[in-house]
Amino acid sequence: MTLPYLRGGFGKPLVLVHGYLGGSAQWQEQIYAFGATHDVIAPNLPGFGQAAHLPGPARIEDFADAVMDCLEALGIARFTLLGHSMGGMIVQDVAKRHADRLEGLLLYGTGPLGLMPDRFEPIETSMARLERDGLQATADRISATWFRDGMAASGYAATRDIARLAHPQAARSALMAMRDWDGRAALAHIDVPCRIIWGDQDRSYRWPQVNALWTGIPKAGLATIAGASHAAHAEKPMLFNAIVQDFLHAS
């Protein structure tokens, strides 16, 4: 796993975990914003972004292990986690198995069930189209679904370019990992301050998934970003950053 990270000497680590077809480069504005108060760590998950040369896991638990290995290598004992999309599943697994290490948890554009009901298309369809169309066409197409304005969105091109870096094997394996993961039983046992962030136009994770997190995690609060989709951090970065900063300040 490769990672850029900003160590400001604050001793308050914030770990940003990207999702499917993502990469650490998607967090540039957040690294700058949160780096004023925290040590920000933004890993590239195996098979994605600048770690596309590494084999991509086929289990959410293995992605979580990769994140923890990264933090162990940096000597980080306690931290706050922010996970986006598939990254939200990964950090839920970290919270399940390493609750004593967490200061707080931010679940962004995600849910407790990998086989996402009412997703813009079933995961099996995404797998079939990946095989048929190839990685680049899949990256271009799926990235467009993450924005309210699709390919016309100002953040689309940068997001698409990051998505294109993924290794085809990793892209397929990650779809399998999401398909086979179910974190619902663990929600009641996540005993840390938690903030759920959701764009109300999200086509990947619909309201029932978000509501399950909100009502299932004992210390969860909800922040909804109106008029934003799955990539709210790129569509409305100032509002997104303010929500995260508010949580970091409170916790």
Tens digit of each residue's pLDDT (9 = 90 or more) over 90-118 = 999 999 999 999 999 999 999 999 999 99
Mean pLDDT score of the chain? 95
Q: Is the pLDDT of residue 77 over 80?
A: yes
Of all residues in the chain, what percent carry a pLDDT higher than 70? 96
Residue with tokens 């959410």: 60
CA-CA distance, 207 to 168, in Å (whole number)? 30
Mean pLDDT on 129-147? 98
Question: Which of 3.40.50.1820, 3.40.50.10470, 3.30.2420.10, 3.40.50.720 is the CATH number of 5-250?
Answer: 3.40.50.1820
222: DSSP letter:
E
CA-CA distance, 179 to 190, in Å (whole number)? 22
Give the confidence band of 4 by pLDDT, cuts at 50, 70, 90.
Answer: low
CA-CA distance, 152 to 154, in Å (whole number)? 6
pLDDT per residue over 28-38, tens digit each? 999 999 999 99
Three-state DSSP state, 58: coil
CA atoms within 13 A on the CB side of 104: 20
Considering only CA atoms, which of 206, 239, 201 is closest in space to residue 223?
239
Q: Is the pLDDT of residue 10 over 90?
A: no
Alpha helices of the chain — where are they, by DSSP H? 28-34, 60-74, 86-97, 123-133, 135-145, 156-163, 168-179, 207-216, 232-235, 237-250
Question: What pLDDT is recorded for position 1?
Answer: 60
Give the confidence band of 180 by pLDDT, cuts at 50, 70, 90.
Answer: very high
pTM of structure = 0.96
Q: Is the pLDDT of residue 2 over 60?
A: no
Considering only CA atoms, which of 127, 155, 169 is closest in space to residue 230?
155
